[in-house]
Amino acid sequence: MSSFVLTGARILGTEKTDIVITDGVVTEVAPGADAPGATRIDADGLVALPGLVDLHTHLREPGREDAETVESGSRAAALGGYTAVCAMANTDPVADTAGVVEQVYRLGRDAGLVHVQPIGAVTVGLAGERLAELGAMADSAAAVRIFSDDGNCVSDPRLMRRALEYVKAFDGVIAQHAEEPRLTAGAQLHEGEWSARLGLTGWPAVAEEAIIARDVLLAEHVGARLHICHVSTAGSVEILRWAKARGIRVTAEVTPHHLLLTDALAESYDPVFKVNPPLRTDADVAALRAALAEGVVDVVATDHAPHTVEDKECEWPYARPGMLGLQTALPVVLDTMFEPGSAGAVDLAPGRLDWDGLAERMSRRPARIAGLAEHGRDPAPGAPANLTLVDPAARVTVEPGELASGSRNTPYSGRTLPGRVVATFLAGTPTVLDGKAQQ
Ligand SMILES: NC(=O)N[C@@H](CC(=O)O)C(=O)O
Ligand SMILES: [Zn+2]
Ligand SMILES: [Zn+2]
């Protein structure tokens, strides 16, 4: 038996109240609520949110434990306010069998800091040639529902069609890394002014948009669920708007870095800004923010992509693409989607996100897409106690060496961002208290 009372918390930014958690469940929400023998946690003025859910995390285990492990990535996630993360399949070995997804699932359970939900590969070895054993992964102890070759695009349209047909049977979803490989050979940076100036091979917006256009049509034809990873262009937003208006079962995510950063940062030639898809233009950033507010882009997903110093701190063309995201996602979303300087203020300009909108895009909706019934539920009596407490008034300067990840490749080094995760509860157990991981 364990009980906690979180005193003075503001659920989704509303008036202060007390939240009682007993044996993993929220049992009471009311001012003055209490439970015998409960541990009191001072949450005065903190915003209580349903625990965040990340649809797109690279945990690197098995295979690249020098960059991240399930445990170190789980710790970063908990510190970022997450209670569930979906672990991408581009590990070594690839998560393309029941054996590997069960291994990742168990490592997550043993670490005990967040729910780790494995994503299965669509094709054997991410090679894009033969379908992986999707059914066996779905039936495994890991109960996989999201399949993705992320890192690679499922570029063969016939294979994509068959994958969509296959997962439809168990209401699975294919998460597509939309990148027509024939248009991005050797690409380093968004194709535009900066790629021309810096003499780096461009990654054109159309390489993303062409695959999204094709795949929403395939999803419509098959009647299956499609999810688009890390949408990065204004043109992609237009295609998604069209597809949704047509009733196609498509959802999409945007990363925090595509909401904040642009290709102009490449001027430094610092590969910390190298990522796939690449950072785009101001106009793309503006379109992505508007699309997230509007709901055309459904969720924020981190695409947390840890890389070692050897893989990252080298010349731009040789550096691996990808950046850390779990511990900075909420601050970046507050910075970009709340009115500047008003994080925590109650009145927000229309068209932007308030706390409820943020909870929808970072917790409830990703939980629904992933089929995680225990997550994405507001703190209310009867709900599993997966929640996070945020100090919206705090401002934190990002220090790469202080992050819990096994890697340091954050693009926000030295930046001061709003919001601090003070506590996170996973199934009623604190994984973070006073901003510190409990394990
Ligand atoms: N985003 C990246 O730049 N890199 C990801 C792969 C991916 O998400 O496509 C990685 O695994 O490092
Ligand atoms: Zn990707
Ligand atoms: Zn990824």
**Domain 50-370: which CATH number of 3.30.380.10, 3.20.20.140, 3.40.50.450, 3.30.70.260:** 3.20.20.140
Ligand 1, closest atom to CA 58? 11
Q: Is 149 in the pocket of ligand 1 (CB under 6 A)?
A: no
Q: Is 73 in the pocket of ligand 1 (CB under 6 A)?
A: no
Q: Which residue CA neighbors atom 8 of ligand 1 most closely?
A: 151
CA of 239 to the centre of ligand 3 (A): 21
CB 95 within 8 A of CB 104: yes
pLDDT above 70: residue 1: no
Q: How far apart are CA 296 and CA 426, in angstroms?
A: 30
Q: What is the ipTM of this complex?
A: 0.99
Q: Tell me the best of 188, 276, 320 to mutate to test the pocket of ligand 1, counting ligand atoms within 8 Å of each CB and taking the most.
A: 276
CA of 56 to the centre of ligand 3 (A): 6
Q: Is 303 in the pocket of ligand 1 (CB under 6 A)?
A: yes
Q: Does 108 appear as a known binding residue?
A: no
Catalytic residues: 303
Residue 127's Cβ-side half-sphere holds a number of Cα atoms within 13 Å equal to 7
Taking residues 314-323, what's their average pLDDT?
A: 97
Q: Does 375 appear as a known binding residue?
A: no
Q: Does 284 appear as a known binding residue?
A: no
| pLDDT for residue 350 | 40
Q: How sure is the predictor about 340, in pLDDT bands with cuts at 50, 70 and 90? A: very low
Q: Where are the domains of the chain?
A: 3-47+384-403+414-437, 50-370
Taking residues 366-386, what's their average pLDDT?
A: 98
Instruction: Residue 34: count other Cβ atoms within 10 Å of its Cβ.
Output: 14
Q: Does 152 appear as a known binding residue?
A: no
Q: Which residue CA neighbors atom 9 of ligand 1 most closely?
A: 151
What is the CATH superfamily name and number for domain 3-47+384-403+414-437?
Urease, subunit C, domain 1 (2.30.40.10)
CB 49 within 8 A of CB 77: no
CB 178 within 8 A of CB 213: no
pLDDT above 60: residue 363: yes
